[in-house]
Amino acid sequence: MKHVTVGRRTASMGAVALIALALPGAAQGASALPATGSAALRTGSAVLPASPVRIPPQQEVPELDAPGPAKPVTFPPDRRTRPASGTFTFTAPRYTRITRLEMNCRPRPCAEAIATDGSTATVRMGPGRWGWNLPVRVWLQADPSAPVPRARYSGSLNVDGEQQPLDVIITEGKHGIFGIVREDTPDNSGVLVADVAPGGPADKAGIRTGDVIISFNGKPITNSKEQVAARTQVRAGATVPVTYRRPDGSVRTTEATLVEML
């Protein structure tokens, strides 16, 4: 029988070895972290206590700017050989999207698929035995729609029913600027646009002097205070829906991308 060597291990050609790029400076032969799952062993008619089995937790919790570049989360290998085909399922934390994976399957390729919106990614091993012998990486990018305060968000990695959290921290953002001078309406029916900053988000979205904003980012607006409160909950770089009433009484909805400064 032919054999193939994976790292320092030797496996039959009927096995698939899962390999990924190691982090710079990381020890390729590092042992797996403590396991915390469960498994059972039957001997004769007796069932022995469950032994702990679980995939290791992620190595780092990246801090993502929103908007900002994607950063990796690395899961170290558990160095176990599975007897049959398997599946890795990544679920992105809220306000993030999966942009790419770093996985390598040998000698046969495995099937990788990332959802169009980046919310999930799936990697399927081919039939036969396979081993997870090197780290895998998933790259995540934060969306500008994330709330302004710094916060930690959690997704998951599931490998054949064993699961670990997939965590990121989204850093504190800056309030976005809309670019209008506002006044209250006499009947509290919205916010009157007294002036529009040329080239600003409101101007680009088609807002004009004399319009009355009645909804901002999905929140009903009856006065200036409410519009300011709604705006300061939105990061610079985020795109929000704005509904407004024209002087002729017609109602329109547009989208505006807020900026950090004018």
Q: Return the ∠ at Cα 103 (arms to 79 and 141), rounded to 5°.
A: 120
Which strand (E) or helix (H) includes residue 4? strand 3-6
Domain span including residue 207: 180-257
CB-based contact 72:96 (threshold 8 Å): no
The CATH number assigned to the domain holding 133 equals 2.60.40
pLDDT value at residue 18: 59
pLDDT, mean of residues 192-196: 97
Q: What is the C-alpha to C-alpha distance for residues 159 and 151, in angstroms, rounded to an integer?
A: 26
The verdict on 107 and 159 lying in the same domain is yes
**Domain end (from 141, 170, 199):** 170
Residue 39: which pLDDT band, with cuts at 50, 70 and 90?
Answer: very low
The verdict on 162 and 250 lying in the same domain is no
What is this structure's pTM?
0.76
Decide which of 88 and 19 is more confident: 88
pLDDT digits (tens, 9 = 90+) for 145-181: 999 999 999 999 999 999 999 999 999 999 999 999 9
Is residue 43 in some structural domain? no
The verdict on 159 and 238 lying in the same domain is no
Residue 27: which pLDDT band, with cuts at 50, 70 and 90?
Answer: very low
Is residue 49 in some structural domain? no
pLDDT, mean of residues 90-119: 93
CB-based contact 223:184 (threshold 8 Å): yes
99, pLDDT greater than 90: yes
What is the pLDDT of the chain when averaged over all its residues?
A: 84
CB-based contact 100:139 (threshold 8 Å): yes
Please name the amino acid found at residue 231: R
The verdict on 147 and 192 lying in the same domain is no
140, pLDDT greater than 80: yes
76: which 2 tokens? 């170290």
The verdict on 66 and 160 lying in the same domain is yes
Residue 104: which pLDDT band, with cuts at 50, 70 and 90?
Answer: confident
pLDDT value at residue 71: 98
Name the 3-class secondary structure at 168. Answer: strand
Q: What is the C-alpha to C-alpha distance for residues 235 and 187, in angstroms, rounded to an integer?
A: 30
Label each residue of 53-117 as H, E or C.
CCCCCCCCCCEECCCCCCEEEEECCCCCEECCCCEEEEECCCCEEEEEEECEEECCCCEEEECCC
Decide which of 105 and 118 is more confident: 118
Which strand (E) or helix (H) includes residue 202? helix 201-204
The verdict on 200 and 140 lying in the same domain is no
pLDDT, mean of residues 67-77: 96
pLDDT digits (tens, 9 = 90+) for 6-16: 333 334 444 44
DSSP assignment of 13-46:
TTEEEEE-PPPTT--TTPPPPPP---EEEEETTE
The verdict on 65 and 139 lying in the same domain is yes
CB-based contact 135:21 (threshold 8 Å): yes
Decide which of 214 and 40 is more confident: 214
pLDDT value at residue 49: 52
Residues written for the chain: 262
The verdict on 18 and 141 lying in the same domain is yes
Is residue 38 in some structural domain? no
The CATH number assigned to the domain holding 206 equals 2.30.42.10
Is residue 1 in some structural domain? no
CB-based contact 209:196 (threshold 8 Å): yes
Number of domains in the chain: 2
CB-based contact 189:178 (threshold 8 Å): no
63, pLDDT greater than 70: yes
